[in-house]
Structure formats: structure tokens, C-alpha cells
Amino acid sequence: MAEQQALEKYAELALRTGVNLQKGQPLMINAPIDGADFTRIVVRKAYELGASDVHINWADDELTLLKYENAPDEVLTDFPQWQVDKYLTFAEKGAALLSIRSTNPDLLKDIDAARVAKASKAGAEAMKEFRKYTMNDRISWSIISIPTGDWAQKIFPDKSKEDAMESLWEQIFKIVRVDKEDPVAAWDEHNATLKKAREVLNKKQYKKLIYKAPGTDIELELPEGHVWKGGAAENTEKGYNFNPNMPTEEVFTLPHKYGVNGTVTATMPLNYGGNVIDNFSLTFKDGKVVDYQAEQGYETLKHLLDTDEGARRLGEIALVPHESPISQSGLIFYNTLYDENASCHIALGKAYPTNLEGGSKMNDDELDQHGVNDSLTHVDFMIGSAELDIDGVTANGETEAVFRKGSWAINFDE
């Protein structure tokens, strides 16, 4: 088992740097029941830091699976209003939301992909109103992960459950900087580096990014007034900073929803809805997926793309150098929070309105006119590698190197 001291540091980091918990603020936590010990540490620390109320939504992979195996379709697709109201009530009170995400990537592999798709779509539809709070940064929210047995053994299949858990704790502590003397200070420094990168890119205001790598040749138009973000985000209601993802290594913006053309090939497996999609590629025309293939998980990919109109368009472009600490671990985590921060990625589905100047105050029509994609889903997938080159096209049509061989070609210190 991981040392108590490291667990305490991690819990404190999630609360201080992650959601930046304020005195007197309520806190809602989504946590796996297998992580009850760690969650209790978080709760104790939250009260110490002045939380007024801490509410836990326990998730249990085994119970989720039993429900998928046994419940009729109409139950799976009925996301009860009282669940929605619980989230909305906390959001209206200005609560912070901490999600501890540690699902077994193969949990639902034997369940009909159509059933899984229908249930997750119903959930996304029901939670649409609440999602506006997170996607517009109107509440502070953060996602972290902790090891659970099945997940750890997926990453380290040759190890016993206990050894796999221990190895994963070790990796997580290193990647989220809990092994540093002062993790909060280490994060401040890391956020300052990401801030420098996004500020340079915001000034550049590229019209277009062109990606070239084996299996990838694609042009992504960037809308006027696009905003690169990364590292700490700002709570748009209260003004203080928080970190939506821990770890995070990306700077990201949105592509124009009608301006994506070409083919892109994924470089890592994607864990989506309890299934793995692997060795897949997508071809876009005028922003929309017109062709796709997958060696593994084709049905799951198909259901993802058929979620709604916006699921076939892109909502995010993220740049992550190939030498990020996560890719240096050499591991595939089968967990998007980790894998997306090892690699350049793009996301199918909804764009963050905060990636457009004034976007968080726009209505749906205005967002569409500015090229901001809308969907019930937002799914990142990885396209980075040591062979990826990216060019940026400036306003006057000049082409500049942005990435070469998977790493930054821009010097941010100039």
C-alpha cells in the first residue's frame, strides 16, 4: 500500500491545486468504492480546509456491470431527475466538484455496445444543464485518478493485483508531482510554463494547423478569436483559479466545426464507455467524419459517432510534446486523463465555449456561427507520436513550424 504521507499529500493537492477549495464551500466528490480509504482522507482534509459540506457519489464497477447485465433497456435509459437535481443543487450553491476516475477499461466488454451507447446518451442528455457549469468553468471542478485493482492489472498484466496497484500508485505520484517536496509549488511552476505556451499561441492566432504523420494528413481551421488554454483555469463566476485535470500537460483550443479536412490516425487505444477502440482512423470533410475504420471496437466507435450530429465533428485540439512525463513512463494507461496528457490529441464532440473569446456568454446559435461545436459527447483520442509534424498558417498565409518530430518547434522563451 502506498505510504500514508504520500496519500495525504495527494489528497491535499487535489483540494488545493485541483478544485482550489474555498472556506465555507460545499464539495461534491465522485469516487470509486474501491478507493474508499483514499476518499476518506480527501473528505477529512476538505473539512480541515474549511469545506461546509462534503457529499460523495460512490461508483461501483461491479454494480454497474450487474445493472447492464440485468436491467431492461427502459431502466438503463431512464436517468432519474432526482440525480440531476442533486448535481444542480450543489452547482447552484457554488460547490466544487472533484471526480476520482478509476474505471476498469474492460468493464463492459461483453455488453451489447448499443445498450451502453443508449444509456450513456440518456445520461448525457439528462446532465446537459449541469454540464454547462463545468464546460463554462462556472464551478471549480477537477478530475484525478487513483489505482483500482482491475485498472492497475490492465496496465501491468504480468503483476499480481497488489504489485500492480503499488506500481500504479508510484507512477501516479510521479506524474502528478506528489513525489516533489512541495507539490503545490511544483504545480504553480508547471502552470506558469503552460501559461507561457498558450500566451504565445494566442498572439499568433494561426488560421490553420496542418498535421502530418504516418496515416495522418489533416488540416484544422481555427476560428477567429480562438483562445488557447492550458494548466490552471479561471472560475468564471468567482475569479479564482483551479486545475480541471491532474495531470495536465496540454495546451488546447477548438477547431472550426466546419473547417476540418483530411484523415487522422489514432496512435493509442481509446477507452470509451467500458470498451477499448484501437487502431482506428477517421476521415473528415468540411468538419464532418465521412469515413472511419477500427481494427478493434468498430461497433463502439460507430455508436460514439452516431450519438448525435455533433459527435461527428471536432471540439478540441490539444498539443502535448512527445517527451511529456507521461509518455516517458512508456505506459499505456487506458485512462483518457493519463493517455491524453502523453500525446497530442483531438476530441470528437462538444467544444469548450471558453476556448472562444466571449464564448461562455454566447447562446447556441452564436456558438454555431463562430464554429464552436455542440454535442452530448466529448471524447479525446490520441494522435501524437515522435513522427508528428505540425505547421501553423498565419493570417498572411505564411507557414511556420509548430511541432517537429512530436515536439515543440516554437521557442517560448524568446
Is residue 264 at the binding interface for Zn ion, with CB under 5 A as the rule?
no
Smallest gap, in angstroms, from Cβ of residue 318 to Zn ion?
4
Is residue 380 at the binding interface for Zn ion, with CB under 5 A as the rule?
yes
Is residue 143 at the binding interface for Zn ion, with CB under 5 A as the rule?
no
Pairing of strands 389-393, 251-253: unpaired
Please, which residue, 221 or 380, has the CB nearer to Zn ion? 380
Smallest gap, in angstroms, from Cβ of residue 310 to Zn ion?
14
CA distances from 182 to 10, 50, 168, 178 (A): 11, 21, 21, 8
155, 160, 153, 78: which is closest to 121 by C-alpha? Answer: 78
164, 141, 139: which is closest to 151 by C-alpha? Answer: 164
216, β-bridge pairs: 213
Q: 3-class SS at 189?
A: helix
Please, which residue, 175 or 318, has the CB nearer to Zn ion? 318
CA distances from 380 to 337, 339, 364 (A): 9, 9, 22
Smallest gap, in angstroms, from Cβ of residue 315 to Zn ion?
7
Please, which residue, 45 or 313, has the CB nearer to Zn ion? 313
Please, which residue, 27 or 347, has the CB nearer to Zn ion? 347
Please, which residue, 13 or 135, has the CB nearer to Zn ion? 135
In the Cβ-directed half-sphere of 408, how many Cα atoms lie within 13 Å? 19
Please, which residue, 147 or 349, has the CB nearer to Zn ion? 349
- Footprint of Zn ion on 80-109 (CB under 5 A): none
In terms of DSSP H, where are the helices of 205-329?
298-305, 325-328
User: Taking a C-beta distance cutoff of 8 angstroms, is the pair 304, 376 a contact?
Assistant: no
DSSP 326-357: HHHTT---S-HHHHGGGS-EEEEEPPPGGGBT
Which of these ranges, 26-34, 48-56, 178-186, 312-320, lies near Zn ion under the rule CB under 5 A?
312-320
Please, which residue, 316 or 391, has the CB nearer to Zn ion? 316
Q: Cell 450513456, residue? A: 120
Size of site (CB under 5 A) for Zn ion? 6
Single out the residue of 12, 221, 249, 316 in contact with Zn ion (rule: CB under 5 A): 316
Smallest gap, in angstroms, from Cβ of residue 249 to Zn ion?
10
User: Taking a C-beta distance cutoff of 8 angstroms, is the pair 259, 221 a contact?
Assistant: yes
Smallest gap, in angstroms, from Cβ of residue 351 to Zn ion?
9
Smallest gap, in angstroms, from Cβ of residue 347 to Zn ion?
4
Which of these ranges, 13-21, 191-199, 291-299, 318-326, lies near Zn ion under the rule CB under 5 A?
318-326
- Footprint of Zn ion on 199-258 (CB under 5 A): 250, 252
Single out the residue of 347, 348, 356, 402 in contact with Zn ion (rule: CB under 5 A): 347
Whether the bond into 244 is cis, omega within 30 of 0? no
Contacting positions for Zn ion (CB under 5 A): 250, 252, 316, 318, 347, 380
